A and B are shown apart, each in its own frame.
Chain A
Amino acid sequence: MSADPTQVLAFETDCHIFDGCGFPAPGLHSFLFEPLWGDPHSNLYFNKPMLLALLGSLIIVGFFWAAFRKPKMVPGKLQSIAEMGYDFIRRGIVYETIGKREGERYVPFVVSLFFFVWMMNLWSIIPVAQFPVTSIIAYPAVLAGLVYITWVSLTFKRHGFVGAFKNFTGFDKSLGPVAYLAAFIELFSNLLVRPFTHAVRLFANMFAGHTLLLLFTIASWYLLNGIGIAYAGVSFVMVIVMTAFELFIQAVQAYVFVLLTCTFIQGALAKHH
């Protein structure tokens, strides 16, 4: 019996090793959800990642609402923690890459991005939810799209039409005939590849992380029979280790996502290189 593509949760199959059934390996099907509401054939449906995305938004807003609604000069615990997070993004990322004067405008956008991405990643290890929303390409794509619109429009606004293309291509006459080739590659790299890699980097990391967690979790369950129990223990230890690792990766990926965002914005503001 091979992996059933309709299978959503590993534990739904009461299948163990030596029972004559194959390993129900995780795969693309693990990222598909039966809609909670609506018809998946139409564009009107509502599924678990959507619910998690909206719930995550509410959690972020709720957290910052509780912390910053009536901020005090001498902060309480919650406000201190929220301030630390805010200050980390503002000083540690935005001021560092874009600079204080130019960067101030983009602080709310970048802060929102970071906490949004982080929260969506965190769903991966929150019990019951246990699914990183960012492992569905649509969510990173939306965010990368917003970033793309931001920095491209900023480039045109700052440098004018010709200047913007000089910025995109990094056109440098001193290179001679190579300049045209370099310009073409740069244009391709900056305008087409960049938003794609920006989104896919986050998506693929979360996708792979979730697959790994699934693999070891399913294996822990699947091996729970006869001599396999010993291996199930090892597999379960791996689940714990990978969960801790994912916790780390989730923060790192959120950090990388906003760091790249800031780098793009900074590149748009800079004189063409």
Chain B
Amino acid sequence: MSQLLTVAAEEMENPLIPPIPELVIGLIAFVIVFGFLAKKLLPNINKVLEERREAIEGGIEKADAAQTEAQSVLEQYKAQLAEARHEAARMRQEAQEQGAVIIQEMRAEGQRQREEIVAAGHAQIEADRKAASSALRQDVGTLATALAGKLVGESLEDHARQSGTVDRFLDELEAKAEAVR
């Protein structure tokens, strides 16, 4: 065996000359690898890589769509909110105006009622005064006539009534009182 290897070593003096059997085995070994990878395994993985790429890009697209929708909804809400605020402000303004009008009307009504009450009071007082005055005048006249009759000794009542003496006297008194005042 050792002799055999020595011969082989002599033959293999030049390491750059490839022996045919090793070339063949090398080719077979590489073709095995290339065959499996090129025909089955790499197409397999390429398909999955492509699917994964699409899945990722699809996911991104979905996310984009969702974001756009959310944005539009948000804008819609904002618009609605602004409108509602505007509406509220308008209503508040209106209510204020209406309130002011109502207060104004109430005030005018109150004023009117007060004046009516005051006027009615005045009229009442005036009427009472007049009634009292005429009643007083009647009584004072009667009393004065009665007193004078007693002093004079005769009834002056009819005479006095006829001549209006009492009235005249009282008018003079009133006139004096007026003048003093």
Contacts and interface: CB of A to CB of B under 8 A. Distances in A.
Interface in A1-55: 5-6, 8, 28-29, 31-32, 34, 40-41, 43-45, 49-50, 53-54
B39 to A, nearest CB: 8
A141 B23 contact: yes
A112 B21 contact: no
Contact of B42 (A8, A68, A72): A68
A68 B30 contact: no
A254 B46 CA distance: 23
A71 interface: yes
A53 B32 CA distance: 11
A138 interface: yes
A109 B42 CA distance: 11
Overall SS of chain B's interface: helix
A83 B13 CA distance: 43
Interface string B1-18: 110111111001101111
Contact of B34 (A50, A53, A108): A108
A68 B37 CA distance: 9
B103 interface: no
A115 interface: yes
Contacts of A113: 30
A205 to B, nearest CB: 13
A73 interface: yes
Interface residues of A, number: 53
Interface string A69-108: 1111100000000110010000000000000000000011
Contacts of A8: 5
A58 interface: yes
Given A28-B15, A86-B42, A43 B29 contact: no
Contacts, number: 134
B20 interface: yes
Interface stretch (B48-56, B73-81, B121-129): B48-56
Contacts of B135: none
B12 A137 contact: no
B9 A61 contact: no
B175 interface: no
Nearest to A143: B30
B23 A34 contact: no
B29 A57 contact: yes
A97 B64 CA distance: 35
A45 B5 CA distance: 13
Contact of B23 (A29, A57, A142): A142
Contacts of B21: 43-45, 50
10 pairs of A and B residues whose beta carbons are closest in the complex = A138-B22, A108-B38, A138-B18, A142-B26, A71-B48, A112-B34, A68-B41, A53-B29, A139-B26, A57-B29
15 contacts: A6-B2, A53-B26, A54-B25, A64-B41, A68-B45, A71-B44, A73-B51, A83-B49, A108-B38, A111-B42, A112-B38, A116-B33, A137-B18, A138-B25, A141-B18
Interface of A: 5-6, 8, 28-29, 31-32, 34, 40-41, 43-45, 49-50, 53-54, 56-58, 60-61, 64-65, 67-73, 82-83, 86, 107-109, 111-113, 115-116, 136-139, 141-143, 146, 200, 203, 207
